[in-house]
Amino acid sequence: MKSGSTRVLAAASGGGHWEQLMLLRATLDNYDIRFATTEPAVAAQHGIESADRLPDCNQNKPLQSALCGLVALWIVLKHRPQVVISTGAAPGFFCILAGRLIGARTLWIDSVANGEQLSLCGKLSQRWAHECWTQWEHLSSNARPRYFGAVL
């Protein structure tokens, strides 16, 4: 609440990734928060009318991924967030990469669904995001990923 003016971009694909972002909303809503998702209709169901649309993509679709990367960059340039966070998946990771380009601080929270190992984007985020957190204590280490609790 103290830092209500901090501009934050929160990005997640539709489905479970988005559900996890919504479970963090009580905290996110304390800031100047903008959302990006692959399913703006689902965001609207949560009362978020202004979410930016990210094209869906994954590592098997290079053209879609390139397009997603460009859209992520456009969204980041539009909002100029000081902080970018994502709960997954690939489209959220592109927002984190784009955030780095403009000097935002970036946080990847790996999905609580990944209890066996970090997701591919989670592994990439260990290198490319400022912080990479797992929601499973047994997957954490002193270096990366770190563990600070879970949405559940």
Partner 1 sequence: MILVTVGMQLGFDRLIAAMDALAPTLGLPVIAQTGKGRYAPQHMDAQAKIAPAEFERLVQQSRLIVSHAGIGTVLTAARFAKPIILVPRRAALGEHRNDHQLATVNQLSGRPGILVAMDEAALPARIAEGLAVKDWSAVQSSTARQLHRALAAFIENRPL
**Where along the sequence are the contacts to partner 1 (CB under 8 A)?**
2-3, 6, 8, 15-16, 19-20, 22-24, 26-28, 30-31, 83, 85, 105, 107, 109, 111-113, 115-116, 131, 133, 135-136, 146, 148-152
CB of 66 to partner 1, least distance (A): 28
Contact (CB, 8 A) for 90 and 65: yes
**Buried/exposed code over 64-79 (b: 16+ C-beta within 10 A; e: otherwise):** ebeebbebbbebbeeb
Nearest distance, CB of residue 122 and partner 1, angstroms: 15
User: Hey, what are 13's tokens?
Assistant: 């694909």
Of 67 and 139, nearer to partner 1 (C-beta) is: 139
The whole-angstrom distance between residue 82's C-alpha and the CA centroid of its chain comes to 14
Q: Are 38 and 21 in contact (CB under 8 A)?
A: no
Q: Please, which residue, 67 or 100, has the CB nearer to partner 1?
A: 100
- Rounded to a whole number of angstroms, the minimum distance from the CB of residue 68 to partner 1 is 22
Q: Which is nearer to partner 1, 31 or 94 (CB)?
A: 31
Nearer to partner 1, 65 or 87 (CB): 87
> Left, alpha or beta for 145 (phi > 0: left; psi -120 to 50: alpha)?
beta
